[in-house]
Amino acid sequence: MLKRILVSLALSTAAAFAVTPARMIERRGATNVFPNPPTTITLSSPITVKAGQSFTPPQAYTRYERGYGACRDGEGGQADAVFVLEEGATLNAVVIGKNQMEGQCTINHVYFEDVCEDAITIKQSSGVSYINYGGAKGASDKIVQHNGGGKVVINSFYAENFGKVYRSCGNCKTQFKRSVEINDSWAVSGSTLVGINTNFGDTATIRRQKALNVRTICQKFIGNNLGNEPTNNGSGPDNISCLYNNFDVTS
């Protein structure tokens, strides 16, 4: 019931917020100041943002959550997602726990206050998804889990206390050559900024990154499609897979 109300609100506001031209975003640094949600809405099922639609809450930075226990069993997948974004959907100005991107989508100013396992799962088969501004704290595992194909562009995003900010799936059944571009972002206290699979031709491009207390900036793995734990294949800039120079990363 709640869900239906929210979705119809979303659709009626969609016209006022035309799909954000992701490529024209303003370049700026990431912020570590998370918004203070004016209100919290607990959902009994995820909100689906339909193909090509945009969702902006009536009150900017409304907190959406799935209530107690949604995180309990670790990687819950779509069942305990908060938003499910279909192809070409855009999500703006919310504070949430978990998210799932089914197609090429854009999320702008989305803050994850306390990630359970993975904050954002990307399932597009190809194309580009954008994560602009916003931030995530407390992701014991990954913030962005890229299981589909194509590219993910992350701009001006803040990450704190994380396992990995981005990981190209190391052992999905269907593997792809994936790429990630991170610009103007800021990472504090984590294990790995990006993890990619060299054997599938992945690339990571990193520019104007701030990193403090982050062990590895670009970790290379040899992935598989058998569900096995991927093996390490070194780390650091190489002009082949990890496309940055040490001067692109400052504290």
Ligand X SMILES: *[C@@H]1O[C@H](CO)[C@@H](O)[C@H](O)[C@H]1NC(C)=O
Nearest residue (CB) to ligand X, 116 versus 243: 243
Is residue 222 near ligand X by the rule CB under 6 A? Answer: yes
Pick one of 73, 75, 114, 238: the residue that binds ligand X (CB under 6 A).
238
Contact call for residue 245 and ligand X (CB under 6 A):
yes
Torsion of CA 216, 238, 133, 170, to 10 degrees: -70
CB distance 98 to 126 below 8 Å: no
The two tokens of residue 127 are 């194309």
**Residues between 8 and 27 with contacts to ligand X, criterion CB under 6 A:** 25, 27
- Position of tokens 């991927």? 230
- Give the interface segment with ligand X, choosing from 58-66, 81-89, 140-148, 231-239 (CB under 6 A): 231-239
Tell whether residue 228 is a contact of ligand X (CB under 6 A): no
The region of 40-48, 86-94, 169-177, 199-207 touching ligand X under the rule CB under 6 A is 199-207
Compute the least distance from the CB of residue 202 to ligand X, in Å: 10
Site string for ligand X, 168-197 (x = CB under 6 A): -------------x-x--------------
Cα 199–chain centre separation: 23
The 10 Å Cβ neighbour count of residue 20 is 18
Q: Which DSSP symbol is given to 73?
A: T
Tell me the helices (H) and strands (E) count for the chain, helix number first.
1, 20
